[in-house]
Amino acid sequence: MLVAIACFCLGFAAGIGFVFLYGRKKDEMRKEDGSIEKPGAPERPDVATEEDVIRVNPTEAREFFTTFRDALSLVESVIGEAHREAGEAGERWAAAVGEMVERANAGLRRLQKTIGELASGQETGSAGLVDEARRTARVLVDSSRSAVAEFIASGDSYLEMMQGIQADRFRSIAERIRGILRQTNLVAINAEIEAAHLGEMGRGLGVIAGEVMKLSAMIGDSVKAIDETAGMVEEKLRQFASEISAKAENAAHLCEDSDRLLGEYLAELEVRTGDIVAGLKGSGEEIDSILESLGKIVDALQFQDISYQKIRNALSILQDVRSELDGVLDNLNKGGMKAVDRRLFEGFKRKYTMRAERLHHELTTGQKCLDERRVGRVYEELGENVELF
Amino acid sequence: MAKRVLAVDDSATVRASVRMVLEQAGYEVELAANGEDALKKIDMAAERFHLLITDLNMPRLDGIGLIRAVRSNPAYRFTPILMLTTESQAEKKEEGKKAGATGWIVKPFQPEQLIAVIRKVMKI
């Protein structure tokens, strides 16, 4: 497109230059000869006749070509810059996209390698992490098992102690009572025998012997009750011991189950964590690089758009110039010269959409074009190109 | 829930840039190619947009015209509207401010810069 624009401008310049030079040549010939040579019929009806050319005011023509040259210089500088920026933007775009594709491919290759390693069971990247978790879990399980075992042992010894204390105590009391009972019975029997020997005189002793026998029977009943109570207490203790043992056994079983489940969980975790860690390892760097590429792509896309706008605006100016030149040439063909002055540039100002264009205009024409007064507030953290209202 | 943003620009490359940056930052992005298209998107939207980003020079309805139309809608009276344009003339900025723009960003912008501006005007 730029080549076409350049060819168009050069074509116009050559055409106008030819008409001007042709006019000057004819003008000079008239001065040398002192007479005017009548030309024949023109080959092209739209080409100015010799008389028409002679009537052109050289001053106006010079002003015209000066303006024309400045306009072309302006357009040339704008299009030249746009051309360069478009080229750079294209290169940046291509580089950014290429980089992104390369990194994406690198990520894919790594992913493929990871999948291959996982499939072949060679992956060891997460072994450390999982082993550490397994060791920690094992310590917890072992501690729990140990605690249960200690609880069971402590319970057993406590029960044994309690049973021993209770049994000894009851046995001791019962034996002592039985001893008293034996002694009492012996005393009663002896008293009864002595009372029989004494006859009437031993009647009181016989009464005492009878009471002692009654007491002995009562003691015997008490011993029986104590034995029954002791038996009941021992039975209760046995039940308690049995329940405690059962609960301890249950806790041990639960502990074993937990150990087994934990082992299965850890095995699963090892596979899954290994998969994730290996997948992320290295891929993270690729993802970061892709994100960095995002900024470059955004930058390239924007510069492409800016360059596009500049070319579009320059084309619009070229169209104005062409229209103006068309009018001038039309007048030239009719033997006149349309006055062209630097007011032509005033119309260009409406075409600009960005700072660079206005700067070029100021530098080329000397006309004030740029007004960058702040309208809103500028925040340092947001950048100089941002104003908030 | 992700904040909804309507980005309006006649340039496909700018629309692509804004979409990449905003989606990367977690925003839900809707695109329009000019002011008229944007107004249709606003009318048809099931949910209100939380932010508008618009170019200035666009065919059919330019950025200033779009802002004026949007501000006449009570639902968008206080919605932040950012101008994202290559134009830096004070006259244009004044026109934008008068129409109801919240801020003015001159292209080119950096991705993190755009996000910072959005967070500031949305107070998040």
Residue B106, SS3? strand
Contact B90 A375 (CB under 8 A): yes
Separation CA A224–CA A218 (nearest Å):
10
Q: Tell me how far apart the alpha carbons of residues A51 and A49 are, in angstroms, rounded to a whole number.
A: 5
CA angle, residues A187, A188, A190, in degrees to nearest 5: 65
Which pLDDT band, with edges at 50, 70 and 90, does A29 fall under?
A: very low
Name the residue among A83, A63, A57, A64 with its Cα closest to residue A4: A83
- Reported pTM: 0.56
Task: Identify the closest residue of chain B to A301 by CA–CA distance.
Answer: B13
Q: What are the DSSP calls for A273-332, one per residue?
A: HHHHHHHHTTHHHHHHHHHHHHHHHHHHHHHHHHHHHHHHHHHHHHHHHHHHHHHHHHHH
* pLDDT of amino acid A236: 72
**What pLDDT is stored for residue A265 in this prediction?**
67
pLDDT of residue A114: 64
Exposure class string for A303-326: b at 16+ Cβ within 10 A, else e: bbbbbbbbbebbbebbebbeebbe
Residue A181 CA to residue A217 CA, distance in Å, equals 8
Contact between A337 and A331 under an 8 Å Cβ cutoff? The reply is: yes
Q: Which two tokens stand for residue A83?
A: 């051309």
Contacts of B97 in chain A (CB under 8 A): 375-376, 389
Question: Across chain A, which distance is largest between two alpha carbons, in Å?
Answer: 207
Is B103 in Cβ contact with A387 (below 8 Å)? Answer: yes
Distance CA B17, CA B25 (A): 13
Can you tell me the distance from the alpha carbon of A354 to that of A306, in angstroms, rounded to the nearest whole number?
9
HSE (side-chain half, CA atoms, 13 Å) at A243: 5
| Beta carbons of B107 and A308 less than 8 Å apart | no
Residue-wise pLDDT for A145-201, tens only, equals 666 666 666 666 656 666 665 566 666 777 777 777 777 778 778 878 887 888 777
CB contact under 8 A, B107 and A299: no
pLDDT in tens, A253-294: 776 776 777 777 667 766 766 666 666 555 556 656 666 777
- Distance in Å, alpha carbon of A386 to nearest chain B alpha carbon: 5
Across the interface, of A306, A370, A371, the residue whose CB is closest to B107 is: A306
Which among A301, A381, A389 is the nearest to B17, CB-wise? A301
The tens-digit pLDDT sequence of chain B (124 residues) is 799 999 999 988 889 889 889 988 899 999 999 999 999 999 999 999 999 999 999 999 999 999 999 999 999 999 999 999 999 999 999 999 999 999 999 999 999 999 999 999 998 7
Strand order in the sheet with B28-32: A386-388, B103-106, B81-85, B51-54, B4-8, B28-32
Cβ separation of B90 and A371 shorter than 8 Å? Answer: yes
Q: Give the tens place of pLDDT for each residue, A33-66.
A: 444 444 444 444 445 455 544 456 666 766 776 7
**Homologous superfamily of domain range B4-122:** Response regulator (3.40.50.2300)
pLDDT of residue A385: 95
The interface predicted TM-score of the complex, written ipTM, equals 0.95
Residue A170 to residue A234: CA distance in whole angstroms: 10
Give mean pLDDT, residues A17-27.
Answer: 43
Each domain of chain B, given as residue ranges in start order, spans: 4-122
Percent of chain A with pLDDT strictly greater than 70 = 50
